[in-house]
Amino acid sequence: KLADLLEENREELIALCTREAGKSIQDGIDEVREAVDFCRYYAVQAKKMMAQPELLPGPTGELNELFLQGRGIFVCISPWNFPLAIFLGQVAAALAAGNTVVAKPAEQTSIVGFRAVQLAHQAGIPKDVLQFLPGTGATVGAAITSDERIAGVCFTGSTGTAKLINRTLANREGAIIPLIAETGGQNAMVVDSTSQPEQVVNDVVASSFTSAGQRCSALRVLFLQEDIADRVLEVLKGAMDELSIGNPSSIKTDVGPVIDAMAKANLNAHIDHIKQVGTLLKQLELPAGTDKGHFAAPTAVEIDSIKVLEKEHFGPILHVIRYKASELAKVIDEINSTGFGLTLGIHSRNEGHALKIASKVNVGNVYINRNQIGAVVGVQPFGGQGLSGTGPKAGGPHYLTRFITEKTRTNNITAIGGNATLLSLGDSDE
């Protein structure tokens, strides 16, 4: 029912995503679709997993059953970059698994979250079962994650905040409870000399600059084999010139604003710094009028090593590193050494080579010969490892397992003279 209401109100929801989060029209369309997919997918998964107990083997005269049930009160803390899809994805999963939910949106996008909860209540979810609690992380987030009554936390955001929540849960009174966290990434793409430059650039631009680079999965570091690097960079510079920067409510806009003034300042500070460390390849000039908004110029910079990047920079900034064919093992080691493990892109027409790279890099999602954004619910379960999250993957068949608890029931049916079900059927026939 909620999925149907989302579709019925999609124009309003797209407008809210644009107004509050600065999303382009296309990004808003994709966001509503993903939220709908989450609702329907988790409803189906919950029915498959929880509708009937699993019968387990045992000796004659003994009935063993495994039941799945909700844990209790789940706290869902969502980010501003997907204020509808991730917000409702968390909430829908927790509810479908039989929990009650306290939903805290990002303070930058509380209106989108509020409207989503209104629609959930309209769909028939009781207000006591789903409660909306806006506010800052320092006040509201800290208070609810330290409450001994909660039974679990689902969080999407920075690695640092996830660690803080983990410490809070460990120090609170009450039961030991799960933390489901999806965090950031220093996402890389490895391009070898067999790749087609035009296809590479198309996927790099989509992965690095759409959504103003504000996706968890967005490409941050492009490794180019030196044999093909000059050609790829030539095409990339031309493709960047074609990007339209401006008002996200315009259908022609490719790159809208970043989320707020602090994000803009941090990105500009990083650009100033990285230009001193590396070589500026391309930086787009911001159009007239964008000085009134929070716009960061799409930028490509060549650097020597991924090690100069001490943290993820959440915006339209691409770092390029050249490598020799003989240095591939070093490239893989450098990617793994960051500790992050969210997405990896690979471009190669040598399938065996691509699969070998995929098997050696410790990430949650690998994309071969395509862009590395836009994971589809039920098709490309999304989530990382290491500093990029705890798992299980959102939009996948194992996600609900962290929202539930198990109960085994063993019944000696011989003690009541046989199968109680058959006896009760006999009574009802009289």
Mean pLDDT of the chain: 96
pLDDT 10s digits, 151-196: 999 999 999 999 999 999 999 999 999 999 999 999 999 999 999 9
- Please, are residues 315 and 265 in contact by the beta-carbon 8 Å criterion? no
Sheet with 188-191, edge to edge strand ranges: 279-283, 299-302, 317-323, 221-225, 188-191, 343-347, 365-368
Domains and CATH numbers, the chain: 2-183+389-409 (3.40.605.10), 188-368 (3.40.309.10)
The sign of the CA dihedral 234, 236, 242, 247 is: negative
pLDDT 10s digits, 275-330: 999 999 999 999 999 999 999 999 999 999 999 999 999 999 999 999 999 999 99
Instruction: Give the model's confidence band at 409: pLDDT under 50 very low, under 70 low, under 90 confident, else very high.
Output: very high
Please tell me which residue in 17, 154, 216, 312 is annotated as part of the active site: 216
Judged on CB neighbours under 10 Å (0-12, 13-18, 19+), 94 is buried
- Please, are residues 406 and 71 in contact by the beta-carbon 8 Å criterion? no
User: Would residue 76 show up in a list of annotated catalytic residues for this protein?
Assistant: no
Residue count of the chain: 430
- Please, are residues 34 and 89 in contact by the beta-carbon 8 Å criterion? yes
pTM above 0.85, yes or no: yes
Please tell me which residue in 20, 31, 34, 182 is annotated as part of the active site: 182
User: Would residue 430 show up in a list of annotated catalytic residues for this protein?
Assistant: no
Phi, psi of 83 (to 5 degrees): -70, -15
pLDDT 10s digits, 39-80: 999 999 999 999 999 999 999 999 999 999 999 999 999 999
